[in-house]
Amino acid sequence: EMNADGTMRVVLADGTVLMQHEVEKGDIWRACQTKDAPIRDWVKLAVTRARQSDTPAIFWLDPERAHDRELQKKVETYLQEHDLSGLDIRIMGYNEAIRVSMERMKRGQDTISVTGNVLRDYLTDLFPIMELGTSAKMLSIVPLMAGGGMYETGAGGSAPKHVQQLTEENHLRWDSLGEFLALAVSLEETGIKTNNPKAKLLGKTLDAATGKLLDNNKSPSRRTGELDNRGSHFYLALYWAQELANQTEDLELQAHFAPLAKTLAENEQTIVAELAAVQGKPVDIGGYYRSNPKLTSEVMRPSATFNAALAALV
């Protein structure tokens, strides 16, 4: 925030002024910097994904933007560090990139969009909403430079409205599908990086359980009195436990989760009824930004039968 009227300048070490803006007291002025190492890693990710997916990749760079022109120079340089044989990697302006991507989409063909994070965020909200009517049924996987990963999902709506409905009607319509997908990928990545077969199997069975959740339409409803986020989590637990109980790759995991699968299946109607019975009345979670953990836990875990089954697993 500017404490006086004046001029903000971005200046190189040799005194060259890259840009400047006239500002007034109280103005908010922000600047960002794109560094070399992330650009090199960005190019590597694009080439790796194009190779793994055997899919054309398009760098979205606008030649009319000075920032993008500088990026393109680096992209063209760093692409030469990789084996591009058999790959279709192009650099296009935004209008051309979206046109080509949409034309391919109409033909049922995939296209990798290589963009900056702001445009990536827009696209990964836009297309799921157009295709599925929600941003909640998607997952963005972002490999990090130090070896970790970020797994981001949409919320399927405005969080304040979700909390408002929860506190007024004790119905949480938040769709956790993206979180389920993210957890499965996290387990799979952990299994690969640490050579842990159990982690990989947990991820594999969680993916199968998530598929069953979708097949059986157990996602949260927007209407109070119907299945909400808590009911969706119950069904994920049921299906995941069943997948683990039915697999034969790891008999230890099978024996550990078989009792839970049996208990949840036998008590399905009771648990769903207990979760539905609390809806329709206001609840107190102790605040919006800083909710009370004890009150929130009580609201989110209203089924004594479900709680007892999970406690027995531990």
Contact criterion met (CB below 8 Å) for 243 and 208: yes
Q: Can you tell me the distance from the alpha carbon of 306 to that of 158, in angstroms, rounded to the nearest whole number?
A: 29
CA dihedral for 56, 61, 64, 66, sign (positive or negative): negative
Structure confidence by residue, pLDDT tens digits, 81-140 = 999 999 999 999 999 999 999 999 999 999 999 998 788 878 877 887 787 777 767 777
> Domain segments of the chain: what residues?
1-31, 36-115, 159-313
Instruction: For residues 22 and 312, give the distance between their C-alpha atoms in angstroms, rounded to a whole number.
Output: 65
Weakly modelled stretches of the chain, pLDDT under 70: 136, 154-157
The model carries a pTM of 0.77
Helix (H, G, I), strand (E, B) or coil at 85: coil
Number of Cβ within 10 Å of residue 89's Cβ equals 19
pLDDT value at position 36? 95
Residue 275 token pair: 């979760």
Q: Which two tokens stand for residue 38?
A: 């992330």
